[in-house]
Amino acid sequence: MALFVVRHHHSAERCPAQDPYTGAKFLNHLSRSNAIRYGVQIQGEAVVEAEHSLYLIAEASDENHLLEFMQVFQEIGHLDILPASTWARVVAGGDSAAHALMGESPSVIDPADACQQAIDAGLVVQRAHPLNCETLIPALISGAMVPNAHFYVRNHFHIPLLDPSSFRLTVGGLVERELSLSLNDLHNLPLQTLTVTLECAGNGRALFEPPIEGEKWTLGAVSTAEWTGVPLTEVLDLAGLKPSAREVLFRGADSGAVAGHIGPVRFERSLRLDQCRGAELLLAYAMNGEPLPVQHGYPLRLVVPDWYAVASVKWLTGIELLDGPFRGHYQYDKYWYEWDRDGEPVREPVTLQRVRALITEPAPAHQTPRGDVAIRGVAWSGSSPIDQVEVSVGGGDWQEANLLGERRRHGWQPWELIIRVPEPGTLAARARATDLTGQTQPERAEWNRLGYGNNAIHQVDISIV
Ligand SMILES: Nc1nc2c(c(=O)[nH]1)N[C@H]1C(S)=C(S)[C@@H](COP(=O)(O)O)O[C@H]1N2
Ligand SMILES: [Mo]
C-alpha cells in the first residue's frame, strides 16, 4: 500500500452541501466502509473552514484506485493526488504530525492513553491534547499528600517518552566543567526529600470576570507531594560556576508549535542565581516514594518550592548557566501579570504562590447533619508558612481555625474549625488565610490579561439538614 495526500477544491456555487441530499451522498461516498470497496483506506480527513477544500490522507495500492474513488469529486471541482511518505501513522496522528514535520521525535505517549488514564483516576480533564486535568477538591481532603494518580496535570505539549537507559542531564554554559549525568549518576548523589505544594498560576482562572482565554481551571490545579531528588546545589557545585554566571536555564524535553513562533518552541524556564540561593530546589526523580510518573516529568523534573509550578520544569534534560536574562516564550511572553492601571499597562513576572485557603469539607453537594459541623481545608503561601486561617459562616464574624500538624515550610497547612449549627439550611462558608509576612486574601483578585494568581477568598455553600 502506498500513501497519498488528496486535495479537493470546489467553488461555492458547486458546493454539494448546498443541498442536504447531495451533501449526504458525498459524505456517504467518503465513509471508510465505502472507500474500502475501492481498495482505499482513509487515514484522516479535514476540511478547510469556509474554503470549500477537503484534504484526505489515504492508502491505496496505486494512484488509479484512488482516482477512481475520488472521481465524483473531480466532477464538481479540482482534484490533486499527491504521493506522500510512508509514515502513515505519524501523519494521520493529528498533533504529532506537526512534531514530525518540524523534525521533532514523535516519541510521545499516546495522548488517548494518557487521557483515559486520567479519567480512570477521577481527574477532571480540561483538555486532552495536550493533557490538562485538575484534581477534584475532595481528593485534597485532610491535607495529606495527593496520591500520584490524583495529582493535577498541566502540560503545554505532548508528553515525551524518555528512555531511562540513555537519559542524560547535561549541565553546560558558564560552568568550569560540563557535565553529562546518567540517572545512575544522579541516584548516587546526596538526596533530599521535601513536601512541596505545586499550584498552577492559572488555578482559579475560570472564576475571573470577565472571562479569560486559557485553560479553564477552577480550583483543582493544586496538589501536594513528597518529592525526592538531588539538591540543585549539588550539581552546580560539581560543575563549578564561572564568575559571569547570573541565571540558570532549565530545559524540558517537550516542545511543539506555538502561534507566532517559527519552528518548535521548547518548554524552558530560568531562575536567577539569587533566586536559587537558599531556595531548596530539587532535581526530583521520585514522587510520594514512587518513580516520577511519566505525566509528571519522568525520569527527572525540577521542583521549585513556593513558586507557581510553571517554574518546576518537567522532563528536565538540560541545565545551562547564562550571563543574563533568558527571554524564552514561557519566561517572557507568558506567565506575567498584565494589568491596566489608570490606562497604563503594568507588567510583573509570575513568581511566588499567593496566599490562599481552600475549603475541602463539607463538599457543597454533601448533606451535613446539623449540630457540630467540621469545616476543613488546606492553606498555603509561597512567601512564608501560614500564620492563621479564619472562617466565616453565614455572613458572621471571622473565627480563627486550628492549624493541624506542624508548620510546613513548603507544603500546604491543613486546618479545621468546628462550628455549631442548630438549624437546617444553606450556609455560605468562607475561609481566608494570612501568612507570616502578613499577606492575606482579597475579596476579589485583580483581573489580569492572562488570568494568573486568582487567590480570592474561597466560598462554599454548605447544606445543613
Ligand atoms: N517540561 C515541562 N514542564 C512543565 C510544564 C510543561 O508543559 N512542560 N508545565 C508547567 C506548569 S505550567 C505546571 S502548572 C506544572 C504542572 O506540573 P504537574 O503536571 O506535575 O502537576 O508543570 C510545569 N512544568
Ligand atoms: Mo501552570
Q: What is the CATH number of the domain that holds 31?
A: 3.30.70.260
- Mean pLDDT along residues 257-267: 91
Same domain? 152 vs 56: no
Same domain? 207 vs 90: no
How far lies 403's CA from each of 59, 408, 433, 439, 457, in Å? 64, 11, 11, 17, 18
* Residue scoring higher pLDDT (252 or 62): 252
The pLDDT, as a whole number, for residue 143 is 64
314 CA distance to ligand 1 centroid (A)? 6
Closest-approaching ligand to the CA atom of 311: 1
Q: Does the beta carbon of 252 lie inside 6 Å of ligand 1?
A: yes
Same domain? 282 vs 370: no
Instruction: Check whether 130 has a pLDDT greater than 60.
Output: yes
Instruction: Check whether 99 has a pLDDT greater than 50.
Output: no
The pLDDT, as a whole number, for residue 141 is 62
Q: Determine if the peptide bond prior to 362 is cis (ω within 30°).
A: yes
Same domain? 314 vs 364: no
Does residue 344 sit within a domain? no
The minimum-distance atom of ligand 1 relative to the CA of 199 is 14
423 CA distance to ligand 2 centroid (A)? 42
Same domain? 75 vs 121: no
Closest-approaching ligand to the CA atom of 159: 1
Same domain? 145 vs 221: yes
Nearest to 234 by CA among 280, 198, 269, 275: 280
Same domain? 48 vs 150: no
Does residue 271 sit within a domain? yes
Contact 235, 319 (CB under 8 A): yes
Contact 283, 316 (CB under 8 A): yes
Report pLDDT digits (tens) over 41-86: 888 878 776 778 888 888 898 888 999 999 999 889 999 998 876 4
Which of 104, 152, 156 should be mutated for ligand 1, with most atoms under 8 A from CB? 156
164 CA distance to ligand 2 centroid (A)? 26
Same domain? 382 vs 399: yes
Q: Does the beta carbon of 296 lie inside 6 Å of ligand 1?
A: yes
Same domain? 320 vs 216: yes
Ligand 1 atom 18 nearest Cα: 153
Same domain? 136 vs 272: yes
Report pLDDT digits (tens) over 347-383: 999 999 999 999 999 987 789 999 999 999 999 999 9
Boundary residue ending a domain (67, 102, 137): 102
Q: Does the beta carbon of 269 lie inside 6 Å of ligand 1?
A: no
Mean pLDDT of the chain, nearest integer: 89
**Residue 317, CA atoms < 13 Å, CB-side half-sphere:** 16
Which of 314, 316, 331 should be mutated for ligand 1, with most atoms under 8 A from CB? 314
Number of domains in the chain: 3
Q: Does the beta carbon of 151 lie inside 6 Å of ligand 1?
A: yes
Closest-approaching ligand to the CA atom of 452: 2
Q: Does the beta carbon of 265 lie inside 6 Å of ligand 1?
A: no
Helices 63-76, 20-29: inter-axial angle, 10-degree rounding? 170
Report pLDDT digits (tens) over 181-190: 999 999 999 9
Closest-approaching ligand to the CA atom of 314: 1
Instruction: Check whether 465 has a pLDDT greater than 80.
Output: yes
Does residue 270 sit within a domain? yes
Q: Does the beta carbon of 250 lie inside 6 Å of ligand 1?
A: no
Does residue 179 sit within a domain? yes
Q: Does the beta carbon of 307 lie inside 6 Å of ligand 1?
A: no
Closest-approaching ligand to the CA atom of 155: 1
Same domain? 151 vs 50: no
Q: Does the beta carbon of 155 lie inside 6 Å of ligand 1?
A: yes
For residue 238, give the amino acid letter: L
Same domain? 251 vs 178: yes
**Residue 131, CA atoms < 13 Å, CB-side half-sphere:** 24
How far lies 91's CA from each of 168, 222, 356, in Å? 29, 35, 45
Q: Taking the alpha carbons of 35, 40, 44, 46 in that order, is the dihedral positive or negative? A: negative
Does residue 343 sit within a domain? no
Ligand 1 atom 6 nearest Cα: 155
The pLDDT, as a whole number, for residue 51 is 78
- What's this model's pTM, rounded to 2 decimal places? 0.78
Q: Is 142 left (phi over 0), alpha (psi -120 to 50) or beta?
A: left
Contact 334, 349 (CB under 8 A): no
Nearest to 175 by CA among 251, 244, 273: 244
Percent of the chain clearing pLDDT 70 (strictly above): 93
Q: Determine if the peptide bond prior to 299 is cis (ω within 30°).
A: yes
Does residue 349 sit within a domain? no
Where does the pLDDT of residue 25 fall: very low under 50, low under 70, confident under 90, or very high at 90 and above?
confident
From CA 412, how far away is CA 368, in angstroms rounded? 25
Domain extent, residue 279, equals 111-334
Does residue 345 sit within a domain? no
Report pLDDT digits (tens) over 383-441: 999 999 999 999 999 999 999 998 889 999 999 999 999 999 999 999 999 999 999 99
